Amino acid sequence: MTIQEKAAAMKLDSPQMAAAPTEIRNNALLEIKAALLANRKAIFDANAQDLEQAQQNNIPEAVVKRLKFTEQKLLDVTNGLENLTALADQVHQVQFIRELDEGLTLVRESCPIGVIGVIFEARPDALVQIASLCIKSGNCAILKGGSETMHTNKVLFDLIYHAAVQSGLPENCLFQAELREEISALLSCHESVDLIIPRGSNAFVQYIMNNTKIPVMGHADGICHIYVDKDFDVEKAIPVILDAKTQYTAACNAVETLLIHKDALDILMPRLNEALKAHQIELRATHEIAAQYECVPASEEDFATEYLDLILSAKTVETIEEAVHHINRYGSHHTDCIITQDKAAAEYFMNMVDSAGVYQNCSTRFADGFRYGFGAEVGISTGKIHARGPVGIEGLLTYKYKLFGNGQIVADYASGKKAFHFKNLK
Amino acid sequence: MTIQEKAAAMKLDSPQMAAAPTEIRNNALLEIKAALLANRKAIFDANAQDLEQAQQNNIPEAVVKRLKFTEQKLLDVTNGLENLTALADQVHQVQFIRELDEGLTLVRESCPIGVIGVIFEARPDALVQIASLCIKSGNCAILKGGSETMHTNKVLFDLIYHAAVQSGLPENCLFQAELREEISALLSCHESVDLIIPRGSNAFVQYIMNNTKIPVMGHADGICHIYVDKDFDVEKAIPVILDAKTQYTAACNAVETLLIHKDALDILMPRLNEALKAHQIELRATHEIAAQYECVPASEEDFATEYLDLILSAKTVETIEEAVHHINRYGSHHTDCIITQDKAAAEYFMNMVDSAGVYQNCSTRFADGFRYGFGAEVGISTGKIHARGPVGIEGLLTYKYKLFGNGQIVADYASGKKAFHFKNLK
- Residues B258-277, buried b or exposed e (16+ Cβ, 10 A)? bbbbeebbebbbeebbebbe
**Do B207 and B276 sit in the same domain of this protein?**
no
Length of chain B: 426
How distant, in Å, are the alpha carbons of A237, A410, B307, B372 from that of B221? Answer: 54, 21, 10, 20
Half-sphere exposure of A256 (CA within 13 A, CB side): 24
- Output the 3-class SS for chain A: CCHHHHHHHHHHHHHHHHHCCHHHHHHHHHHHHHHHHHCHHHHHHHHHHHHHHHHHCCCCHHHHHHHCCCHHHHHHHHHHHHHHHHCCCCCCCEEEEEEEECCEEEEEEEEECCEEEEECCCCHHHHHHHHHHHHHCCCEEEEECCHHHHHHHHHHHHHHHHHHHHCCCCCCCEEECCCCCHHHHHHCCCCCCCEEEECCCHHHHHHHHHCCCCCECCCCCCCEEEEECCCCCHHHHHHHHHHHHHCCCCCCCCEEEEEEEHHHHHHHHHHHHHHHHHCCCEEEECHHHHCCCCCEECCHHHHHCCCCCCEEEEEEECCHHHHHHHHHHHCCCCEEEEECCCHHHHHHHHHHCCCCEEEEEECHHHCCCCCCCCCCCCEEECCCCCCCEEECHHHHEEEEEEEEEEEECHHHHHCCCCCCCCEECC
Position A421 in a domain: no
Q: In which element (H, E) is residue B266 found? A: helix B265-278
Tell me, yes or no, whether A51 and A112 share the same domain. Answer: yes
Would you say residue B201 has pLDDT above 90? Answer: no
Would B81 be classed as within a structural domain? yes
- Is residue A206 domain-shared with residue A235, that is, in the same domain? no
Alpha carbons A253 and A369: distance in angstroms, whole number: 12
Contact B385 A233 (CB under 8 A): no
Nearest residue to A101 via CA among B111, B330, B362, B345: B362
Q: Are A322 and A390 members of one domain?
A: no
Which residues in chain B are contacts of A405 at CB distance < 8 A? 359-362, 366
Is A415 a member of any domain? no
CA–CA distance, B367 with B159 (Å, rounded to integer): 32
Angle in degrees, CA A391, A397, A400, rounded to 5: 150
Chain B contact present for A373, CB below 8 A? yes
Q: In angstroms, rounded to a whole number, what is the distance separating the alpha carbons of residues A68 and B289?
A: 63
Task: Return the pLDDT at B425.
Answer: 93
Distance CA A254, CA A334 (A): 10
Instruction: Check CB contact under 8 Å for B361 and A402.
Output: no
Measured between CA atoms, the residue of chain A closest to residue B354 is A15
| Residue A199 · residue A146 · CB < 8 Å | no
- Which chain B residues touch A11 with a CB distance below 8 Å? 328
Residues B170 and B239 in one domain: no
A362/B247 CB distance under 8 A: no
Bridge partners (DSSP) of residue A14 are: none
Residues B243 and B330 occupy one common structural domain:
yes
Residue type, A150: M
Range of the domain at A229: 224-366
Instruction: Tell me if A408 is assigned to some domain.
Output: no
- Phi and psi at residue A143, in whole multiples of 5°? -115, 135
Does any CB of chain A come closer than 8 Å to the CB of residue B192?
Answer: no
Among B356, B339, B122, which residue's Cα sits nearest to residue B218? B356
Residues A355 and A393 in one domain: no
Judging contacts by C-beta atoms under 8 Å, the chain A residues touching residue B354 are 14-15, 18, 114
**Which chain B residue has the Cα nearest residue A111?**
B351
Q: How many CB pairs under 8 A join A and B?
A: 234
Number of domains chain A contains = 2
Q: Is A96 on the interface with B (CB under 8 A)?
A: no
Instruction: Please check whether residue B253 lies inside any domain of the structure.
Output: yes
pLDDT of B134 strictly over 90 = yes
Q: Please state, in angstroms and rounded to a whole number, the distance separating the CA atoms of residues A20 and A319.
A: 55
Please, what sign has the CA dihedral across residues B125, B128, B131, B137? negative
Mean of the per-residue pLDDT values for chain B? 95
DSSP H or E segment with residue B257: strand B255-261
Residues of B whose CB is below 8 A from A233: 407
CB A362 within 8 A of CB A338: no
- Asked whether residue B159 falls in the same domain as residue B299, the answer is no
* DSSP element (H, E) containing B284: strand B282-285
Residue of chain A nearest B242, judged by CA positions: A409
Going by pLDDT thresholds of 50, 70 and 90, the confidence category of residue B61 is: confident
Query: Which is it for the CA torsion A7, A11, A16, A17, positive or negative?
Result: positive
Which pairs from A367-372 meet CB under 8 Å and 24+ separation? A367/A224, A367/A253, A367/A334, A367/A335, A367/B401, A368/A253, A371/B100, A371/B410, A371/B413, A371/B420, A372/B98, A372/B100, A372/B106, A372/B401
Chain B hits for A408, CB-CB cut-off 8 Å, are: 240, 361-363, 366
Interatomic CA distance for residues A372 and A378, integer angstroms? 13
What string of pLDDT tens digits covers the 426 residues of chain A? 899 999 999 999 999 999 999 999 999 999 999 999 999 999 999 999 999 999 999 988 878 888 999 999 999 999 999 999 999 999 999 999 999 999 999 999 999 999 999 999 889 999 999 999 999 999 999 999 999 999 999 999 999 999 999 999 999 999 999 898 999 999 999 999 999 999 888 888 999 988 999 999 988 789 999 999 999 999 999 999 999 999 999 899 999 999 999 999 999 999 999 999 999 999 999 999 999 998 999 999 999 999 999 999 999 999 999 999 999 999 999 999 999 999 999 999 999 999 999 999 999 999 999 999 998 888 899 999 999 999 999 999 999 999 999 999 999 999 999 999 999 998
Interval B349-373: pLDDT, tens: 999 999 999 999 999 999 999 999 9
Q: Which of residues 298-357 of A touch B (CB under 8 A)?
A: 324-325, 328-329, 346, 350-357
Residue B206 and residue B57 share a domain? yes
Task: Name residues whose C-beta falls within 8 Å of residue B380's C-beta, 6 or more positions apart in sequence.
Answer: B218, B219, B222, B252, B253, B334, B356, B367, B368, B369, B389, B390, B391
| B248, pLDDT greater than 90 | yes
Residue A276 lies in a domain: yes
Give CA–CA dist A178/A150, Å, rounded: 7
Q: Report the alpha-carbon distance of residue A152 to residue B5 in Å, rounded.
A: 50
Residue B153 contacts A where some CB pair is shorter than 8 Å: no
In Å, what is the CA distance from B162 to each residue of B11, B176, B342? 20, 13, 57
Contact A231, A260 (CB under 8 A): no
Nearest Cα residue in chain B from A109: B351
A261/A388 same-domain check: no
How confident is the model at residue A1, as a pLDDT? 85
Inform me whether the C-beta atom of residue A18 falls under 8 Å from chain B C-beta atoms.
yes
List A297's β-bridge partners, or say none. A285
To the nearest whole Å, the CA of A8 is away from the closest chain B CA by 10
Name the nearest CA neighbour of A106 among B13, B262, B350, B246: B350
- Interchain CB contact of A371 with B (< 8 Å): yes
Q: Which residue of A has its CA nearest to B413?
A: A371
Average pLDDT over residues B368-388: 91
CA dist A5 → A172, A190, A191, A197 (Å): 11, 12, 11, 20
Q: How far apart are the C-alpha atoms of B209 and A270, rounded to whole Å?
A: 54
Tell me which chain A residue has its CA closest to the CA of residue B374. Answer: A422
> Considering the domain boundaries, does residue A406 fall inside one?
no
- The CATH number for B322's domain is 3.40.309.10
Q: From A341, which residue of chain B is nearest by alpha-carbon distance?
A: B406
| CA terminus-to-terminus distance, chain A | 46
Residues of A in contact with B232 (CB under 8 A): none
> Do B104 and A362 make contact, defined as CB atoms within 8 angstroms?
yes
Residue A387 lies in a domain: yes
Query: Is residue B375 pLDDT above 90, yes or no?
Result: no
Query: What is the model's pLDDT at position B245?
Result: 97
Supply the ipTM of this predicted assembly.
Answer: 0.94
- The CATH code of the domain that includes B158 is 3.40.605.10
Give B36→chain A minimum CA distance, Å: 26
* Integer CA distances (angstroms), B100 to A75, A379, B57, B61, B104, in order: 25, 19, 65, 62, 6
Query: What's the rounded Cα separation, in Å, for the pair A111 and A95?
Result: 11
B93 interface with A at CB cutoff 8 Å: no
H/E element, B299 = none
Q: Could you tell me if A372 lies within 8 Å of chain B, comparing CB atoms?
A: yes
- Tell me the C-alpha distance between A73 and A149, whole Å: 14
Substitution target from B371, B420, B425 for chain A, most A beta carbons within 10 A: B371
**Rounded to whole angstroms, how far apart are CA atoms A391 and A370?**
10
Nearest to B190 by CA among B245, B106, B127, B115: B115
**Could you say which of A100, A401, A406 has the minimum Cβ distance to residue B361?**
A406
| pLDDT exceeds 90 at position B63 | no
* Boundary of a domain, candidates A323, A346, A366: A366
**What pLDDT is stored for residue A93 in this prediction?**
97
- A64 shares a domain with A99: yes
Asked if A385's CB is within 8 angstroms of B113's CB, the reply is: yes
The reply to whether B388 and B346 lie within a common domain is no
Partner residue opposite B400 with nearest CB, options A358, A361, A401:
A358
Residues 242-301 on B with a CB inside 8 Å of A are 242-243, 247-248
Q: Which has the minimum average pLDDT: A263-272, A405-414, B216-225, B325-334?
A: B216-225
Flag whether pLDDT at B66 surpasses 90: no
pLDDT at A425: 93
